[in-house]
Amino acid sequence: MSTILSIRDLRKRYDGGFEALKGVSLEIEQGEILALLGPNGAGKTTLISTICGITTPTSGSVTVGGHDIISGFRAARSMIGLVPQEVALEPFETVIRTVRFSRGLFGHPRDEALIERILRRLSLWDKRNAPVKELSGGMKRRVLIAKALAHEPRVLFLDEPTAGVDVELRKDMWDTVAELKADGVTIILTTHYIEEAEAIADRVGVISGGELLLVEDKKRLMARMGKKRIEVLLSAPIRKIPPALAAHDLVLTGDNDTLVYEYDTHAERTGITRLLNDVAAAGLVLRDVKTRESSLEEIFVDLVSEGRS
Amino acid sequence: MNWGAIAAIYRFEMSRFFRTLMQSFLSPVLSTSLYFVVFGTAIGSRIDQVEGISYGAFIVPGLIMLSVMTQAISNASFGIYFPKFIGTVYELLSAPVNFLEIVLGYVGAAASKALFIGTVILCTAAFFVDLRIAHPLAMVLFLVLTCLSFALMGFIIGIWARNFEQLQLVPLLIVTPLVFLGGSFYSITMLPPVWQTITLFNPVVYLISGFRWAFFDTSDVPVGLSLLAIGGFTCLCLAVIWWIFRTGWRLRS
């Protein structure tokens, strides 16, 4: 795979002095889905806005498909599609006209077959002649995507595409993203929803306080950072953890009938065998044993709090 | 040059105009008719000819200029302010277009609308007075240049404005008084000498005078000076817009 988007030491300081980006560097491969996670004010939208030309960078460089976003802005922007966070649409225009406008703005000739394909894919074809103001919130979000796709971008930025939409539409969006990836489109999405990143991203970037804390393959990140926990359900509640089990650093939860043990999946010795032997030796009877992996959300919270400290 | 983008912006802006065609068309026809009823017939019948021209005909160039200037400003300012207001300006800023292409699209559409309205007023006026145009080509040139320069000014106002109140501020408090006091309804030779001198500081005087010359071959100030004034004003507006896009003033953060 080749690099399609390259960001080098990108900084943005606003007029008021606030530093929204503190030297972000990032390489994005063609055809991948990168999810940028971060709390409010982390710099996610500033990063996207700067790449797309809405915000002027203070320093650093960005190239899209090898084209610098300042000196080669035409070629760079031609490759980019942007779905903004806010639903911003001309309310009195019809769906099809506003999508045609977006294509025209990028200098492309009219292509009614393509527009029809895009609108059908996003379930908007039946509403093509409806004024935008008559659409539901979810449909308006789809119109934003249709507009961003109208000039056939190679890189698509989705700035919190599913913020405030219902579960069904969110799943639809994920399907659309998967289809676009299959078409070879590189997708960078920002999201608050960890499950979104977990469900569709290839790589995950965590941004906080204008700094990119890490970018890593989602599965590797979960494997590296992930902890597993064993929940040992006892047949009867106990008052306290027996002294013989003190070395295992257990937590007693539930109705005092569950022992929780956390371990590192990559450690040479997980300590599970010894734990189970010690539990049996302490005279405790097991009812069940469950294992659970830590979610991306827990990893994210850990990283951000580490970054803050 | 991204001609496709210019055409897309132009078409998009014109579609707003045609969506409200009745309002766009009827409003100038009605207001012009009212001006003729009040100034041309009721008051004009008591005024002698001005510089050998009937008063009704004399006010036609001023009336056209009045509407063209205000329409060019309001269309262009609204055209760029509305995307800022509703947030769709992101699309413009992230598209592969430069400042000239954006200006050509928006200002071209605003100027076209003003030109359309100017033509409608001219046709309406022909029903009320006996019109003659001494220099038709110069008339078209003055009309087009006025549409363009005031649309450029409107574009600047639209970028500068932070709310709808500011959007109306410059047209209402500056442009309308300057147009009314710029000889729309009188010749500046009718004023006392002191006011004649003061009036010469009003840039609109040069535009109306030049436009009136194109109709009646008579002017308050030399025609060359009128052309210079409108050319200079257009260049000034273009320079300001170039600076706006270079710095991103009130557009890019």
User: Cβ B90–A92 below 8 Å, yes or no?
Assistant: no
B166 to chain A nearest CA, in Å? 21
Residue A249's Cβ-side half-sphere holds a number of Cα atoms within 13 Å equal to 6
Q: Is the pLDDT of residue A309 over 60?
A: no
Residues of B in contact with A88 (CB under 8 A): 86-88, 90
| B4 CB within 8 Å of a chain A CB | yes
Q: Which of the two residues, B185 and B109, has the higher pLDDT score?
A: B109
Which residues on A lie below 8 Å from B15 (Cβ)?
93, 97
| Highest mean pLDDT of the ranges A281-295, B5-19, B182-196 | B5-19
Q: Please tell me which of the candidates A14, A84, A109 has its beta carbon nearest to residue B253.
A: A14
Size of interface A-B (CB pairs under 8 A): 86
| Chain B residue closest in CA terms to A79 | B96
Alpha helix segments (H runs only) across chain A:
44-52, 73-78, 95-105, 112-121, 137-149, 167-182, 194-200, 218-225, 272-281, 296-308
Count CB-CB contacts under 10 A for residue B116.
Answer: 19
- In this predicted structure, the answer to whether residue B44 has a pLDDT above a threshold of 70 is no
Q: How far apart are CA A154 and CA A79, in angstroms?
A: 5
Percent of chain B beyond pLDDT 70?
98
What pLDDT shows up at residue B80?
92
Nearest to A107 among B87, B91, B96 (CB): B96
Cross-strand pairs, A228: A263, A293
Asked if A53 lies within 8 A of B94 by C-beta distance, the reply is: yes
CB contact (8 A) between residue A105 and residue B92: yes
Contact A35, A201 (CB under 8 A): yes
What's at B227, amino acid-wise? L
Q: From CA A92, how far away is CA A226, in angstroms rounded?
A: 49
CA–CA separation, A143 vs B189, rounded Å?
59
CB B87 to CB A92 under 8 A? Answer: no
CATH number of A3-223: 3.40.50.300
Give yes or no on whether A3-223 and A227-293 have one common fold.
no
pLDDT, tens digit, for every residue of A223-240?
766 678 888 899 889 988
B87/A84 Cβ within 8 A: yes
Inter-chain residue contact A105 with B87, CB threshold 8 Å: no
The β-bridge partners of A35 are A189, A204
Instruction: pLDDT band for B135, please (50, 70, 90 cuts).
Output: very high
Q: Inspect the interface and report whether the beta carbons of A90 and B86 lie closer than 8 Å.
A: yes
pLDDT tens for A73-100 read: 999 999 999 999 888 999 999 999 999 9
CA–CA separation, A8 and A127 (whole Å): 42
Q: Which residue of A has its CA nearest to B3?
A: A107
Judging contacts by C-beta atoms under 8 Å, the chain B residues touching residue A75 are 96
Amino acid type, B34: L
- For residue A247, the distance in angstroms to the closest alpha carbon of chain B comes to 57
Q: Chain-wide mean pLDDT for chain B?
A: 86
- A104 and B93 in contact by Cβ < 8 A? no
Out of B7, B92, B96, closest to residue A78 by CB = B96
Provide, as residue numbers in chain B, all residues whose Cβ is less than 8 Å from the Cβ of A56.
Answer: 248, 252-253
Q: Taking the domain A227-293, which CATH number applies?
A: 3.30.70
**Buried b vs exposed e over B150-188: b needs ≥16 C-beta within 10 Å?**
bbbbbbbbbbbbeeeeebeebbeeebeebbebbbbbbbb
Q: Please, what is the Cα angle at A187 between A220 and A78, to 5 degrees?
A: 145
Residues of B in Cβ contact (< 8 Å) with A103? 8
- Predicted pLDDT at B250: 74
B86 contacts in A (CB within 8 Å)?
88-91
Please tell me which residue of chain A has the smallest CA distance to B86.
A88
CB contact under 8 A, A88 and B86: yes
Angle at which helix B223-247 crosses helix B203-216, to 10 degrees, equals: 130
Between B70 and B20, name the one with better pLDDT.
B70
Determine how many CB atoms are found less than 10 A away from the CB of residue A65.
Answer: 19
Q: Residue B253 and residue A55: Cβ atoms within 8 Å? A: yes
Q: What is the pLDDT of residues A208-227, one digit of tens each?
A: 889 998 898 888 877 766 67
Rounded to whole angstroms, the Cα distance separating B60 from B45 reads 15
Q: Where are the domains of chain A?
A: 3-223, 227-293
| Over residues A12-34, mean pLDDT | 91
CA dist A235 and B35 (Å) reads 96
Residue A67 phi/psi, 5-degree rounding, is -100, 130
| Mean pLDDT of the A191-207 span | 84
Stated pTM of the model: 0.81
Report CB contact under 8 Å: B8, A92. Answer: no
Give per-residue pLDDT as tens, A255-299: 888 999 988 776 778 888 888 888 888 888 889 998 887 666 677
